[in-house]
Structure 1
């Protein structure tokens, strides 16, 4: 069905959008902190996406897209960088409200160090695979900055949200790669999959969410600082 990818996008964002008006979380009040970061991150990843599509890192099955394009990408692929981050930031916000427990900062540091080491190994052994090298390279830079330079305090909350976000990730990405709507060129990745999902997709998601949640926290904190200064 040519509307498959579009329907997946709509379903991804439908429940987070509706539940944004929950009387406890009031996620809709945080929307103003989401858009600037989502726009910045979206443009960055769209640039990456356009280049990867041109290089044949992945392609899109014409049977499952509407045929409407933007910058050489299916319109649905552009929507993906809005619907998925919105849904995942919603998960992050809900966990922050309903679950007060968080991972110990020492354990957070260990997790970050392990992912950094994994990223370094990915770069060493798969430097000639475009998707693998760029994904691990970006993730390495982001985690080094957030964990050891900025020393952000929300990383422990992020890791919890990331684990929860893997549930809808496996559902959505599983469908996209099983049909397949998105077709990966295995010569540009490790060639290893979890079910039908390339291993790199897990770390691509992590990098995407780190940037989006990082901007979300930045704009939210800046607003509070401005309010106190007023």
Structure 2
């Protein structure tokens, strides 16, 4: 990983990312209402109908990873969490919690009171705040498995990065009138662009692990969007996303998760290399 100068980040990447993310908001009014209450239900699971749905979701995702990854330290995940991932995970979680707070306040999405406990932290259900720490912790276990088992598939995958940038930017231009679509795409574009700037060698590894991660994502995200319940826990404003769902969740959620996870890994590598460089300079 090449460590970019602060000036390069300040004068190039940060303004470009800010423009991509912020431009759709200029002079744009969120269309109120129009929430999609029902998801595309695949099967009804009665035990999920109630205010403990989000808690059940967290327990089902967290307990296996905690047991195998932390208690048994499979694939050296315990060391990876404490030494490399914990600090960047918390930092990125705070950024995405702010995004969640903003979009909830704007009416881009809302939370069904029938499936949450009713206790809020900064206008978010406390279960939602926990999501930003539990789910990346679980998701990065998949990344760690691929990292150990499959030695960096596709390398830096620069060609794939450029192709994704072109395709996603075209989609961004077509969806600038939908706030969630535009923001999800712009966040993904910004993170891929940053991985190019820093010449991150782990992009291919991340893509391989993210593709595998889409399998459990379908189930666990589906639990929150009406795949297994009569109504969705997270209800989206139909005017602010493209209307395409995978199982029961909007395709934009993939960009949300992509940006969140790759941001953690980029920040982790940046901190590791910056500390290493500082240590070398002071020896």
Normalised TM-score (structure 1) = 0.91
Moved segments of 4+, more than 4 Å: 220-230
Distance 2:59 2:123 in 1: 21
Q: Does 1:97 align with 2:145?
A: no
Structure of higher CA gyration radius: 2
Distance 1:101 1:31 in 2: 19
Offset at residue 85 of structure 1 (A): 0.7
User: What is the aligned partner in structure 2 of residue 163 from structure 1?
Assistant: 211
Secondary structure of 1:66 counterpart: coil
Distance 1:110 1:174 in 2: 32
Counterpart among 170, 184, 189 of residue 140 in structure 1: 189
Q: Does 1:79 align with 2:127?
A: no
Distance 1:173 1:52 in 2: 18
Structure 2 portions without partners, runs of 5+: 1-49
Task: Give the number of the structure whose residues are more often helix, by fraction.
Answer: 1
Distance 1:216 1:18, change over 3 A: farther
Distance 1:29 1:104, change over 3 A: closer
Distance 1:101 1:47, change over 3 A: closer
- Report the aligned-residue RMSD: 1.9
Offset at residue 218 of structure 1 (A): 3.2
Indicate the structure whose relative CO is greater, using CA pairs within 8 Å and at least 6 residues apart: 2
Normalised TM-score (structure 2) = 0.75
Counterpart among 98, 113, 116 of residue 165 in structure 2: 116
User: What is the aligned partner in structure 2 of residue 126 from structure 1?
Assistant: 175
Structure 1 portions without partners, runs of 5+: none
- Number of equivalent positions: 227
Q: Does 1:46 align with 2:114?
A: no
